[in-house]
């Protein structure tokens, strides 16, 4: 049975999308299974050839050669998964780590909300285990999964902290920070249709309040010239452009254009329900689920002058 999409939800997002019908339709289907080759332990070519030997039909992702879409959902039951040669990960979740400027020169990198570790393990791979990666998460119960995944993937440069980012110790500056903020997760409705039954605008507003505190703190932890990547898996402008607009009004932060050749994206929204955001937020990236058959995602790259 198809999940019921609340009318309020349709009214909210249909005006923001290029093709409302395709958008709403996409929410009723599951996104394809995808994984990333973990280059700390194996080569992309080797992984591809092994996974194909099981009869899986793979499609290399045009904007990220380490990533593949698989015809089979059984990618988690493979030798490659046991060996840590692959990480089962939704495609849009691979975007933030790819967006960091010159990550190998960043030195010290913070993944602020890291559990269960999909982005942290990708960051460690992109850093080639050099420098140091601080993988932080507030939720102690999720730290176990984070540690398990970092170790399975052979991440040697990672340090785990279990802190509330809002009160994070300020004794160290980071060359790059990923803030994949806790959000209302509307972009993952395809995987978790039950989210729709709990969906409420109050939840959006409460998450937006938290996100404002988190982005301000994260920006404060950044060293001059450093990159802050802000991302959510939700559509709500209050949690996306609204949060960027807040940071821009409080700090000297600049938004940089993000170019991902091969991925269909939309620009950030300048106005929502009468509220005008800074024109800079246009440089943010929206990925609607129907554009590339993925989850929905939002992403912005900020730099500290």
| Catalytic annotation, residues | 233
The SS3 of residue 188 is helix
Are 290 and 25 in contact by the 8 Å Cβ rule? The answer is yes
* Cβ closest to another protein, residue 22 vs residue 82: 82
Q: Which one of residues 106, 112, 143, 302 is an interface residue with another protein (CB under 8 A)?
A: 143
Q: Which of 10, 28, 29, 82 binds another protein (CB under 8 A)?
A: 82
28 binds another protein (CB under 8 A): no
CA dist., res. 100 & res. 53, Å (int) = 34
Burial of 218 (0-12, 13-18, 19+ CB in 10 A): buried
Among 11, 169, 273, 276, interactor with another protein by CB under 8 A: 169
Q: Copy the structure tokens of residue 75.
A: 């990618």
Q: Contact between 77 and another protein (CB under 8 A)?
A: yes
What does the radius of gyration of the chain's CA atoms come to, in whole angstroms? 19
Pick from 108, 204, 233, 284: which binds another protein (CB under 8 A)?
108
Q: Report the C-alpha gap between 192 and 125 in whole angstroms.
A: 29
d(CA 135, CA 111): 5
What DSSP element (H or E) covers 230?
strand 222-232
Report d(CA 33, CA 65) in Å as an integer.
Answer: 16
* By CB under 8 A, residue 304 contacts another protein: no
Task: Enumerate residues 6+ apart whose C-beta is below 8 A from 209.
Answer: none
> Do residues 295 and 90 touch, judged by C-beta distance below 8 A?
yes
DSSP string computed for 200-258: -HHHHHHHHHHHHHHHHHHHHTEEEEEEEEEEES---GGGTHHHHHHHHHHS--EEE--
User: Looking at 1-9, 127-135, 184-192, 207-215, which segment touches another protein (CB under 8 A)?
Assistant: 127-135
Determine, following the binding rule CB under 8 A, whether residue 22 of this chain makes contact with another protein. Answer: no
Q: Which is nearer to another protein, 18 or 164 (CB)?
A: 164
Strand 108-111 relative to strand 132-136, pairing: parallel
Number of residues that bind another protein (CB under 8 A): 35
Distance of closest approach, residue 44 Cβ to another protein, in angstroms: 16
Is 147 or 283 the residue whose CB approaches another protein more closely?
147
Q: Is there binding between residue 262 and another protein (CB under 8 A)?
A: no
Residue 194 CB, nearest approach to another protein (Å):
27
Contact 106, 94 (CB under 8 A): no
| DSSP label at residue 152 | H
276 touches another protein by CB under 8 A: no
Provide, rounded to whole angstroms, the least separation between the CB of residue 138 and another protein.
13
52 is a site residue for another protein (CB under 8 A): no
Decide: is 128 part of the binding site for another protein (CB under 8 A): no
- Residue 221 lies near another protein (rule: CB under 8 A): no
Q: Which is nearer to another protein, 134 or 243 (CB)?
A: 134
Pick one of 154, 213, 266, 293: the residue that binds another protein (CB under 8 A): 154
* CA–CA distance, 268 with 37 (Å, rounded to integer): 30
Q: Does 150 bind another protein (CB under 8 A)?
A: yes
Q: Give the nearer residue to another protein in terms of CB position, either 158 or 287.
A: 158
User: Helices 118-126 and 140-152, interaxial angle, to 10°?
Assistant: 40
Interface contacts to another protein, rule CB under 8 A: 40-41, 54, 74, 77-79, 81-84, 108, 130-132, 134, 143, 147-148, 150-152, 154-163, 169, 171-172
């Amino acid at each position: 049975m198809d999940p019921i999409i609340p009318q309020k939800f349709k009214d909210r997002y249909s005006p923001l999308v290029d093709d409302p019908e395709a958008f709403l339709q996409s929410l009723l289907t599951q996104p394809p299974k995808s994984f990333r080759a973990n280059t700390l332990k194996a080569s992309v070519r080797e992984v591809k050839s092994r996974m194909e030997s099981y009869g899986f039909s793979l499609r290399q992702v045009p904007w990220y050669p380490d990533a593949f879409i698989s015809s089979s959902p059984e990618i988690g039951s493979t030798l490659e998964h046991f060996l840590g040669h692959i990480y089962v990960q939704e495609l849009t979740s691979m975007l933030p780590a790819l967006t960091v400027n010159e990550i190998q020169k960043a030195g010290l990198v913070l993944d602020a909300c890291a559990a269960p570790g999909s982005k942290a393990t990708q960051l460690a791979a992109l850093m080639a285990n050099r420098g140091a990666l601080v993988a932080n998460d507030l939720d102690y119960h999720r730290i176990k999964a984070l540690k398990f995944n970092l170790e399975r993937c052979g991440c040697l440069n990672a340090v785990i902290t279990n802190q509330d980012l809002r009160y994070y110790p300020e004794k160290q500056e980071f060359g790059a920070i990923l803030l994949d903020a806790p959000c209302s997760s509307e972009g993952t409705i395809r995987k978790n249709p039950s989210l729709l039954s709990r969906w409420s605008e109050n939840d959006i507003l409460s998450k937006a309040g938290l996100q404002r505190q988190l982005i301000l703190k994260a920006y404060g932890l950044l060293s001059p010239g450093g990159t802050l990547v802000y991302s959510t898996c939700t559509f709500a402008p209050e949690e996306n452009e609204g949060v960027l607009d807040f940071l821009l009004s409080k700090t000297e932060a600049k938004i940089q254009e993000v170019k991902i050749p091969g991925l269909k994206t939309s620009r950030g929204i300048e106005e929502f329900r009468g509220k005008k955001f800074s024109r800079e937020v246009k440089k943010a990236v929206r990925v609607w689920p129907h554009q590339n058959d993925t989850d929905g995602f939002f992403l912005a790259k900020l730099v500290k002058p």
